[in-house]
Structure 1
Amino acid sequence: MRVPLSWLREYVDLPATETGRDVQATLISAGLEVETVERLGAGLTGPLAVGKVLTIEELTEFKKPIRFCTVDVGTANGTGEPQEIICGARNFAVGDKVVVALPGAVLPGDFRIAERKTYGRVSRGMICSSEELGMGEDPNHGIIVLPPEHEVGLDATVLLELYDEVLDIAVTPDRGYCLSMRGVAREAAIAYGLPLRDPALLDVPAPNAYGYPVRIADPIGCDRFTARTVVGLDPEARSPIWLQRRLQKAGMRPISLAVDITNYVMLELGQPLHAYDRTRIDGPIGVRRAEAGEKITTLDGAVRVLDAADLVITDDSGPIGIAGVMGGANTEIADPVTDPETGAVTGTTEVVVEAAHFDAISIARTARRHKLSSEASKRFERGADPQAAAAAAQRCVDLLVLLAGGTAEAGVTEVAAPSAPRTITLPANHPDKVAGVAYGRETVVRRLQEVGCDVYGQDELIVTVPSWRPDLNEPNDLAEEVIRLEGYENLPSTLPKPPAGRGLTERQRVHRRVGRALAGAGYVEALNYPFLGQQALDQLGLDADDARRRVVTLVNPLSDEEPALRTTLLPGLLAALRRNDSRGSHDLALFETGLVFRPEGEPKVAVRLPVDRRPTGEEIAGVNAALPRQPRRAAVVLAGAREQAGWWGKGRPSDWADAIQAARLIAAEAGAELIISADQHAPWHPGRCAAFHVEVDGVATLAGHGGELHPRVVKALGLPARSCAMELDLDVLEAASEGPVKAPRISSFPVATQDVALVVDASVPSADVERYLTEGAGELLESIRLFDVYTGDQVGAGKKSLAYALRFRAADRTLTVEEATAARDAAVALAAEHTGAALRGA
């Protein structure tokens, strides 16, 4: 809702010093979402004057038609002489009143007006269009032609109301009354503690039997219908400038006088109106549900097939409008037409004004069904004020009489279903309990009365809710009104006090440690949507019976291309890798931690939980039983350089070993010991794929895979060559953990280093050798590191040499050479026993 500040001041006497920014801050503190404040005319300075076109000389010697005009601007130019202006527009004639920007003026966009020679003449100013003045788009893209009654030389900035501030308010669904100047003015009056001049307080004649006949066949869909008739309208009457400018500032385009008036009253009071040409209505106006298959041509020229649930306005010929959404083309107000021979103007001279109240849900469903959201439907579906219909019709009639010279007929039609005021019983101290603040009864009563409620009672308040607030339905709604008007900023801030021993679970701690460790190792976190399609699984080269192909499909997915929940983190991460690489970032290391969804057994249907009470434990257990297994995983993807080249030396590309090292890092953070072995598993390269196992209750359990991606997968996904990836199940690592990770002990005694080179078969994994060396070395071993791998003639065909650095240290003494050597020999002996390793050179 766009709210011009000048219009708002008509209903509330805001302090003259209050700017749009000040009003914005005040309304925000009252609970309205004022998104922006637009300063109209911010880049505009005068002189800008009303001028009268005296002469027009057509200059035909140029490629496009040019006109040399003289314009009387009175004394606005300081001389009183006619102003000579070059102009290319064609939509004005001699005698027309126009807007002239004189030399020295600056138009929006820093467009400065000065005398200049062009097309062989000197132009001293510019004749302006609405777009050039920042008034909004003109569908005709022509010069502003003013009504003839405006005086020559008048300041056009005042006449056209070019300087103003407009508040742009994002109205939430429960605050539909703020889709009107009346509603926003009420909030401003309350916020500033000022009286409100309610534009709906009008003298409305009582209904009688002489109005236009109306028949309501569906009183639930339409509980109120007011009809008024105005005759004798001047078809040549145009909307005055003040009316057009208010519509433009509010974001609406002026169309014709009758339509502009209905839109103006809708913006003012929040009650949508519709004007029918009475001569084009066939019989009484009716309101009913449509018959399936009925058709109507709406005002936008579209032919629409109606649904049986649609509420329609009818006459004897059939539907003439979709109720609360859009009128029909066959009864619309006719544009004035001038007879070229006689000069007589014909058009609509008799109007029937409709002001009705429709069911919010029905209108919302109709608007969505036809994909036809209008200004009227926005207000009806949020809850228009049913009591404002008669006042809105009267306001429309008054403006038609005033501006179009019409005469209001005495007949007043009002068909209304009986209704009773809505009341809510509210304990006087209920807002105090909700907010934790002692407001007191007087404050509660005063604030509820300010929003329009009638309040009676002492300790138990009987609150009658105003008709324009359909969102107030229970005591908590009323408490919210008191709290917001007293100021959310005045609520005390208190931190929750959790019981001792509460905090993050071990699963959460592992998750956070893993993320910090990967970020510290140079990986960048990439969060992806948890959805995938079958195409992504095909691109990964998964077998038809792969467990990752069994997915949970969403009933209402965000995208038809990705209708299922992910069973692996890799598709999202690899898509992020491809996207970043395509945009110039070629050296990439990304990671993600999150849930995957792995259904097991037969598909289960979850029961729908009740909303009128707390679900029982059995009902919640039934829902949980229907959910798929959701293990928490961590994954990384790499491409490009892992170490950059520079003056310090050569860089190196990322490879499968980096992916495996990421798995080691994660396992260390989880407190689990990783067992690494060669494997073949999609989507990895069969010769560069590692499987990760951990021991859970003495059983080797698969925790994930890592390595270099298969070339076919790289090609299918458009990834950089030799991209690598790794994925681990954090829940499995947690189960294998021996408890919280313990900080290392620091010894003050020196370390003893022993190097050993072992020759083993080329097929023996280095991880196996390392595991047995560690086991054989015993408690004195502090760390072990593989620092060299050699294959060649010196070790023989089919063999490889693995060189390890073993660091020994005791916590309570300095180790002797004999002790360190004995520990090394024990390690080598155990490795030799299980892997066939032999000391190199022995």
Structure 2
Amino acid sequence: MQFPESWLREFCNPPLTTVELAQTLTMAGLEVEALRPVAPPCTRVVVGHIKAVAQHPEADRLRVCQVDVGQGGALLNIVCGAPNARVGIKVPCALVGAELPAGDDGQPVRIELGQLRGVPSQGMLCSARELRLSEEHGGGLLELDASAPLGQDIRVHLDLDDMLFTLKLTPNLAHCLSVHGIAREVSALTGAALQQPSFPAVAARIADKLPVQVSATDLCGRFSGRIVRHLNPHATTPQWMRERLARCGQRSVAPLVDISNYVMFELGRPSHIFDLDKICGGLHVRWSKPGEQLTLLDGNRITLDDKVGVIADDEQVESLAGIMGGNATAVSEQTRHIYIEAAFWWPKAVAGRSRRLNCATDAGHRFERGVDPSLTVEHIERITALVSAICGTPQTACGPIDDQCLNLPVPQPVTLRVARAAKVIGMPLTQQQCADALQRLALPMVQGDGQLTVTPPAHRFDLTIEEDLIEEVARMVGYDKLPATPPLAPMAPQLAAEARRSPFAVRRALAGAGYQETINFSFVPERWELELAANPQPIRLLNPIASQMSVMRSTLFGSLLQVLRFNLDRKAARVRVFELGRVFLRADDIKNTDTTVAGIHQPLRVAGLAYGPGDILQWGRKEQAIDFFDVKGDVQALLAPLSADFEAASHPALHPGRCARVLLNGRAIGFVGELHPQWRQSWELPQAPVLFELELDAVLQREVARFRPVARHQAVERDLAVVVAERVTHADIMAAVQRAAPDTMRSAVLYDIYRPKAPRAGEHAAEPAPATGLAPGEKSLALRLTLASDEATLTETRIDTAVQAVADQLARCTGARLRAG
């Protein structure tokens, strides 16, 4: 809500400076978001009168103007290129030595004596843009009223030092969406007198009435209107009204539109003016019918359903109720007869429609919060008086006001307990203090023993519960007056368990591995859930912010792939990203608590994606694409010092043969694998990324460090090469080694795998190759065993015994045999 200070002070003029007034409003809950003058500083700009205009001898687009600036001397010779420079108008004139507001380059403009194409110029005639009153380019010179005093400083004449207030209002302060509403608050806060607007009735000179039928009383509770005939179609909006609208952030359109907007900013009453000659028959206020169409004032054509209120005539829909008028009955430069409408639209009947139809307006903003239903007739009188004064002719005549009161809100009394107010606000309060605060707001009330009962006035839609009245008391007391009371409850820091690290540590570990964190929405396209999670029944949003973001995610893979696609579109060759976020799963055992929602499990997960070369471009190593084992190593490093196991598995998003389930202490905690070829193709990826997703709770676990003495005896290493079938996995080998591990075993590492070359076409390898001793379907694995003892140096006998135990266990469990040669 933006408005000029001068307009506010016409209704209420407290003895406060501008800054004090802004502070008072802010401390009462009406936050002053911005405070600035109407125009930036400028000097030596005065009112000038163009006395003569001649064509420039050397330039077709320039004119030489003779300008009187009221200095009693000769006229100033000023060269001007504005298309509206003509004899007789008064315009701002910057004298030699004047400084105009900063231009686009940020530097102030200084006017000096100069020449344009050989003709001397003793100043400059100014447009509204050059004074920073407007950003429009094509308006030409700023034309002033004919009564403007010659030579008067333009800042004084146009009141350019007037301050513009911009308030950031919360939705419950709908009664402050007008200058008069804010003045009412200032009067309550400061005790200054409030000038109540008067609404003298305009005498009806004709008996004409427009038939209006209201069939939806849950949409419209009151409908008032009047006919006005024989207006001047060539009238113009007066300068004072254009300036006030501009200072409220509203562009001047046409006199009738400007009058409607002016009353909305003045009194908070949105209204609509129809061109009477364009209305077919009478008006019908109803809910729309599915499929009906309407072309709005902004030119957009929309299709309606049965949940939008409309005003229709006998042929078509003419207006969106409480939001925007239609183009078919809009007033124009030929309009001579009008119908003025002011209605009360139920807030619930308007709320959300502007957003759904993509036509947000000031009217809809006010009606969905609540507009006073008791003053429709008075506001029509105000509009009629302005229309008659600005657009009237000797033949102008208005009809009687047709006022239909159908379904007005009935205010329900609200009781305030003084003790409860003191407890909530946090300071001692007496009943008299509460009563004084509510009386200053002109709230009708009845006092009882320790309590006050208020009947909300018609303009206060926000007063429905006791807490609303408590807030009003706090606002009137002033938030800056509330005592700073430290909390009484004891507070003790909660130390994190030593066996658990923080999510920040996980983020730091992944960042150290070269991954960058991303933050994504938790709602995703339904297609992602079906394809990447095989989830045909995802949790749906009741009111999605966009049609393609309609369900809650059950995996983080889709979000990471979207980030990858975004980066690839911008020519990124190497991408490493991760996310810590929630997923949403159906779970019947989850109950409603302060942190949970019944039927929905919301665990945190950590997921990562790697794409492109394994290393950044360098000279020391050949470029090699990332593979499964690179990301598996990142997962192992992330879980360290805990040791994870990996087993072949399947996942809807991952490659059937390049996917592993991650196990920690025998419990599955996630997956790692290459993206499924089908989804790689649908996402149009040049190569397959490798992804992982783990339960965050499992990743946060860590072993508590324990003291171990440094080994006093040197460890020994022995290599063991065995031949096994191709089906035997690394996990099978390690499991067998662990079962056979004697007390001297410290570690076992697989460091080499050998497979014989496949036979060429037409060749047969029925017998084992004599050089390798490997038959088809076999492979050779080389293990390095590290042995040590804390008691004494190992003898060759103990070493051989330990190695033989491992070989025997491998033979029993996997069918391995020692490799010959």
Establish whether TM, by shorter chain, passes 0.5.
yes
Q: Does 1:83 align with 2:76?
A: yes
- 1:675 is aligned to 645
1:382 alignment partner, SS class: coil
CA drift of 1:40 comes to: 3.5
1:102 alignment partner, SS class: strand
- How do residues 704-715 of structure 1 correspond to structure 2 at under 5 angstroms? 704-709=670-675, 714=680
2:715 alignment partner, SS class: strand
CA drift of 1:97 comes to: 2.0
Contact 1:72–1:152 under 8 Å retained in 2: no
CA drift of 1:2 comes to: 1.3
Structure-1 separation of matches of 2:785 and 2:292: 87
Q: Does 1:32 align with 2:27?
A: no
Structure-2 separation of matches of 1:482 and 1:239: 42
Structure-1 separation of matches of 2:152 and 2:428: 58
Structure-2 separation of matches of 1:723 and 1:516: 22
In the superposition, relative to structure 1, how do residues 97 and 632 fare at CA in structure 2: closer, same or farther (>3 Å)? closer
- 1:342 is aligned to none
Structure-2 separation of matches of 1:291 and 1:527: 42
Structure-2 separation of matches of 1:718 and 1:507: 43
- 1:724 is aligned to 690
CA drift of 1:54 comes to: 2.3
In the superposition, relative to structure 1, how do residues 536 and 743 fare at CA in structure 2: closer, same or farther (>3 Å)? same
Structure-2 separation of matches of 1:678 and 1:316: 72
- 1:340 is aligned to none
Q: In structure 1, which of residues 575, 589, 592 is the aligned counterpart of residue 576 of structure 2?
A: 589
Contact 1:101–1:126 under 8 Å retained in 2: yes
Q: Does 1:453 align with 2:463?
A: no
- 1:518 is aligned to 510
Q: In structure 2, which of residues 499, 503, 521 is the aligned counterpart of residue 529 of structure 1?
A: 521
Q: What are the ranges of 5 or more consecutive residues in structure 2 without an aligned counterpart?
A: 757-770
Q: Does 1:93 align with 2:86?
A: yes
- 1:834 is aligned to 813
Q: TM-score when scaled to structure 2?
A: 0.79
1:663 alignment partner, SS class: helix
Structure-2 separation of matches of 1:564 and 1:328: 36
1:162 alignment partner, SS class: coil
Contact 2:736–2:809 under 8 Å retained in 1: yes
CA drift of 1:502 comes to: 9.7
Contact 2:525–2:551 under 8 Å retained in 1: yes
Structure-2 separation of matches of 1:295 and 1:765: 68
Residues 241-250 or 586-595, more deviating: 586-595
Structure-2 separation of matches of 1:399 and 1:107: 35
How many residues are paired up?
784
Structure-2 separation of matches of 1:777 and 1:768: 14
1:66 alignment partner, SS class: coil
- 1:122 is aligned to 120
Structure-1 separation of matches of 2:243 and 2:73: 29
CA drift of 1:470 comes to: 0.7
Structure-2 separation of matches of 1:155 and 1:571: 64
Q: In structure 1, which of residues 48, 58, 68 is the aligned counterpart of residue 55 of structure 2?
A: 58
In the superposition, relative to structure 1, how do residues 655 and 491 fare at CA in structure 2: closer, same or farther (>3 Å)? farther
1:362 alignment partner, SS class: helix
Contact 1:208–1:413 under 8 Å retained in 2: no
Contact 1:83–1:124 under 8 Å retained in 2: yes
- 2:179 is aligned to 181
Question: C-alpha offsets along residues 98-136 of structure 1, whole Å, 9 cap, x if unaligned?
Answer: 222333332342362334433343333333332333223
Question: C-alpha offsets along residues 377-401 of structure 1, whole Å, 9 cap, x if unaligned?
Answer: 3222211112333443344455456
**Counterpart AA for 2:268:** G
- 2:540 is aligned to 554
Structure-2 separation of matches of 1:660 and 1:260: 68
Residues 353-362 or 309-318, more deviating: 309-318
**Counterpart AA for 1:441:** Q
- 1:470 is aligned to 461
- 2:765 is aligned to none
Question: C-alpha offsets along residues 158-211 of structure 1, whole Å, 9 cap, x if unaligned?
Answer: 3233334323334333221121112223334445x34252443x2655999987
Q: In structure 2, which of residues 717, 734, 737 is the aligned counterpart of residue 773 of structure 1?
A: 737
Structure-1 separation of matches of 2:313 and 2:26: 46
Q: Does 1:68 align with 2:63?
A: yes
Q: Does 1:759 align with 2:721?
A: yes
Residues 424-433 or 720-729, more deviating: 720-729
Structure-2 separation of matches of 1:564 and 1:420: 40
- 2:6 is aligned to 6
In the superposition, relative to structure 1, how do residues 256 and 792 fare at CA in structure 2: closer, same or farther (>3 Å)? closer
Q: Does 1:637 align with 2:624?
A: no
Structure-1 separation of matches of 2:779 and 2:319: 89
Contact 1:644–1:652 under 8 Å retained in 2: no
- How do residues 390-405 of structure 1 correspond to structure 2 at under 5 angstroms? 390-400=377-387
- 1:609 is aligned to none
Structure-2 separation of matches of 1:750 and 1:766: 29
Contact 1:755–1:803 under 8 Å retained in 2: no
Structure-1 separation of matches of 2:50 and 2:33: 43
Residues 566-575 or 518-527, more deviating: 518-527
Q: In structure 2, which of residues 177, 194, 199 is the aligned counterpart of residue 197 of structure 1?
A: 194
**Counterpart AA for 1:473:** T
Contact 2:4–2:162 under 8 Å retained in 1: yes
In the superposition, relative to structure 1, how do residues 651 and 702 fare at CA in structure 2: closer, same or farther (>3 Å)? same
Percent of aligned pairs sharing the same letter: 30
Contact 2:210–2:227 under 8 Å retained in 1: no
Structure-2 separation of matches of 1:533 and 1:275: 44
Contact 2:529–2:538 under 8 Å retained in 1: no
- 2:250 is aligned to 252
CA drift of 1:573 comes to: 1.3
Q: In structure 2, which of residues 740, 747, 769 is the aligned counterpart of residue 784 of structure 1?
A: 747
CA drift of 1:802 comes to: 3.4
In the superposition, relative to structure 1, how do residues 143 and 362 fare at CA in structure 2: closer, same or farther (>3 Å)? same
Structure-2 separation of matches of 1:522 and 1:330: 61
Residues 258-267 or 353-362, more deviating: 353-362
In the superposition, relative to structure 1, how do residues 554 and 87 fare at CA in structure 2: closer, same or farther (>3 Å)? same
Contact 1:296–1:319 under 8 Å retained in 2: yes
Q: Does 1:817 align with 2:821?
A: no
2:46 alignment partner, SS class: strand
CA drift of 1:469 comes to: 0.8
Contact 1:424–1:464 under 8 Å retained in 2: yes
Structure-2 separation of matches of 1:309 and 1:558: 19
Q: In structure 2, which of residues 681, 685, 709 is the aligned counterpart of residue 748 of structure 1?
A: 709
Alignment RMSD: 4.9
- 2:635 is aligned to 663
CA drift of 1:562 comes to: 5.3
**Counterpart AA for 1:107:** P
CA drift of 1:577 comes to: 2.8
Structure-2 separation of matches of 1:239 and 1:54: 26
In the superposition, relative to structure 1, how do residues 205 and 88 fare at CA in structure 2: closer, same or farther (>3 Å)? closer
Structure-2 separation of matches of 1:503 and 1:66: 78
- 2:473 is aligned to 482
Contact 1:71–1:85 under 8 Å retained in 2: yes
2:432 alignment partner, SS class: helix
In the superposition, relative to structure 1, how do residues 288 and 724 fare at CA in structure 2: closer, same or farther (>3 Å)? closer
Residues 714-723 or 204-213, more deviating: 204-213
Contact 1:596–1:633 under 8 Å retained in 2: yes
- 1:434 is aligned to 424
Q: TM-score when scaled to structure 1?
A: 0.77
CA drift of 1:404 comes to: 5.8
In the superposition, relative to structure 1, how do residues 617 and 657 fare at CA in structure 2: closer, same or farther (>3 Å)? closer
Contact 1:758–1:803 under 8 Å retained in 2: yes
- How do residues 580-619 of structure 1 correspond to structure 2 at under 5 angstroms? 580-583=567-570, 586-596=573-583
In the superposition, relative to structure 1, how do residues 809 and 661 fare at CA in structure 2: closer, same or farther (>3 Å)? farther
Contact 1:553–1:565 under 8 Å retained in 2: yes
CA drift of 1:768 comes to: 3.7
Residues 387-396 or 243-252, more deviating: 387-396
Structure-2 separation of matches of 1:224 and 1:187: 26
Q: Does 1:135 align with 2:145?
A: no
- 1:612 is aligned to none
- 2:763 is aligned to none
Structure-2 separation of matches of 1:308 and 1:106: 55
